[in-house]
Amino acid sequence: MPTIKAKNIEKYYQSTDGEQVHALKDISLTVEDGEFVAIVGPSGCGKSTFLEIVAGLLPHDGGEVYLDDQLITETSREIGVVFQDASLFPWRTIKRNIAYGMELAKVPKEEQEKRLTHYIKMMNLEGFENKYPAQLSGGMKQRAGIARTLAMNPKVILMDEPFSAVDHLTRCTLQEELIKIHELEKKTILFVTHDINEAVFLADRVILLSPRPSVIQEEYQIKLPYPRHRDDEYLSKVAAMIMADISRGRKTDEDIEYFI
């Protein structure tokens, strides 16, 4: 059953010089329950814009987005969002930052503590619960941000370049941890990234958006079970194909044949 269904999404905005820009054109995308889908494309093609529309954070000019057949018109507690910046409150400890959403939702204290213990352990934050954000590395802050989202137990997690601000080794570690979360929690994940290798390593399916006005240029099924190895020849071929498609803006007969 589809968890997220976007139908014919259109988005326009005004540029700084007053010109109307057509950002998204007739975008239709279905994400199945428990699926991990990555969105890639050229810089400025509207990846983050589309994610914010799905989250109910940004209005759109045409089309509809559904969560389990319910029209999305505003934010929902069933949809969690992880941004590039963990956006932790500097005056709150890591534990209290993770608990923030649960406090707003008035989750009972006993249940809060149960979830905090679970996700602090899952995200390898044990021993850092009473530290403040300024005392943590970028990777640890992002772990706390992900734990805060998971603690709300959303059905869908939207992630916008969540690992872009950390170093390469930390990024690789966080990718591995995200795969484990996906397998354990069975969450539906829609993930925006500029990193093609990251997309093919993580996702069940990769969506390539074209330059503006963005349309879905191509979809790639990543037919490789977890756990995956970064140097796998299949992943390298798919990544190279996506890079070529971004450069060309179209598919060749040879590339199509690879997927048949």
Q: Encode pLDDT of 163-190 as tens digits.
A: 988 889 999 999 999 999 999 999 999 9
Q: Kindly give, in sequence order, each residue whose CB lies less than 8 Å from that of residue 101, ignoring residues fewer than 6 positions away.
A: 148, 149, 151, 152
The DSSP line for 97-163 is: HHHHHHHHTT--HHHHHHHHHHHHHHTT-TT-TT--GGGS-HHHHHHHHHHHHHHT--SEEEEESTT
Residue 254 in this model has a pLDDT that exceeds 60: no
CB 71 within 8 A of CB 123: no
In this prediction, residue 86 has a pLDDT band, given cuts at 50, 70 and 90, of confident
In this prediction, residue 251 has a pLDDT band, given cuts at 50, 70 and 90, of very low
The pTM of the whole model exceeds 0.85: yes
Domain ranges of the chain: 2-78+157-170+190-259
Of 3.30.470.10, 3.30.360.10, 3.30.390.30, 3.40.50.300, the CATH number of 2-78+157-170+190-259 is: 3.40.50.300
pLDDT, tens only, 105-122: 999 999 999 999 999 999
